[in-house]
């Protein structure tokens, strides 16, 4: 069965430090991958997506993710985080229905 694994449930980091949120997926012929962000008591917002083409995808607020087929990974990175990035982040893969990882809580401290 298809699956998505987020390797860290919580990631505490200081403001302006770099961060990586890790995501691995089960291998498949066609892979469509997404990262969503959820602020407290809100729905999920699409952060970025990989459908095909360039393996490095970027969002408008400085996050990027790299699709690595050999390692079946789609890790999310940001070189310098802000307090406002504090949220829960979900990795997902599409293949019919959308399957999510368990989520990673990013906590940015001043």
Q: Is 60 exposed, middle or buried (0-12, 13-18, 19+ CB in 10 A)?
A: exposed
Complete DSSP assignment for 26-89: ---SS-EEEEEEE-TTS-EEEEEEE-SS-SEEE-TTS-EEEEETTTTEEEEEESS--GGG-EEE
28 binds other proteins (CB under 8 A): no
5 binds other proteins (CB under 8 A): no
Residue 59 has a CB neighbour count (10 Å cut-off) of 16
Among 29, 30, 53, 110, binds other proteins (CB under 8 A): 30
9 binds other proteins (CB under 8 A): yes
Residue 86 or 100: the one with the smaller Cβ distance to other proteins is 100
Binding mask 79-98 for other proteins (x = CB under 8 A): -----------x---xxxxx
37 binds other proteins (CB under 8 A): no
Which residues here bind other proteins, judged by CB under 8 A?
9, 30, 32, 34, 36, 41-46, 49, 51, 90, 94-98, 100-103
């Amino acid at each position: 069965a298809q699956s998505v694994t987020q390797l860290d449930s919580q990631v505490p980091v200081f403001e302006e430090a770099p961060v990586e949120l890790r995501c691995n997926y089960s291998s498949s012929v066609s892979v469509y991958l997404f990262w969503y962000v959820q602020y407290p008591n809100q729905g999920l917002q699409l952060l970025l997506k990989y459908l095909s083409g360039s393996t490095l995808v970027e969002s408008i607020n400085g996050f990027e993710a790299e699709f690595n087929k050999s390692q079946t990974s789609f890790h999310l990175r940001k070189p310098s985080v802000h307090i406002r990035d504090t949220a829960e982040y979900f990795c997902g893969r599409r293949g019919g229905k959308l399957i999510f990882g368990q989520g990673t809580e990013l906590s940015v401290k001043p």
